Structure 1
């Protein structure tokens, strides 16, 4: 009788461990796909940020000159939109929404420059960069940039002066 109980417990334990093993096997099969999507998202964000770099630069030039010297701004806005839609199938909704909000703010700035009203120009310039920096923060949070950086920093010993700079 005791031997039967031991056999039943062993078989039950084997079954439980097999189910747990099956769960982790199925979960780990998705890792390569998850990593691939993550890498593609980073490629898409890189291209989007390159497009935003050119747009930000042009907006700053226009803001300082207080006039549109060429029609380059609309082309740059279209390039940002193209970058958004090229990777929209693998980006989370919040990234797409906030990127479109930044584009909308750039259009508002474009309209304000055309009106020539200094107060409106300043307001839309500030709104554009506020939405842009919110977008940057969303990207950092979404891709875990700060957490990954801290993890990387823990892998090597930092000089004391660098540690004091990073803490502040």
Structure 2
């Protein structure tokens, strides 16, 4: 076995470093084709979509905005959101429920969830239905919400 000269060893080390650096930058494998394609497909970026015409979208928009406002301690914004998204009869019903239960009628709780998810459960008889899953640390609760298809106002919140 012959000994490599110091210059030859340095050249080989530099070449190996360059190949590894190129592989890291391009995502190419030292053993695979150097196409510049990542070794794994990147995970899809999160996205949210909706339509101002859809009653289901309105339910999701309301819960997302309402929870943000309550979490931030912005009572006036939470009140404006209720006035915009909830039917007047539901607003009156929630005021009675809150007085009797000493909790937020929209969330059915005294505190604010850490996460939320709105799932469509179908439409019929002029209404769209959704289940709102609220996550409180390791616990979850569900509320069942209906919105009127014609007005897109939320007309019912039940636990």
Q: Structure 1 length as normaliser, TM-score?
A: 0.32
Hey, which of these two has a bigger chunk of strand by percent? 2
Hey, which of these two has a bigger chunk of helix by percent? 1
Higher-Rg member (1/2) = 2
Q: Structure 2 length as normaliser, TM-score?
A: 0.33
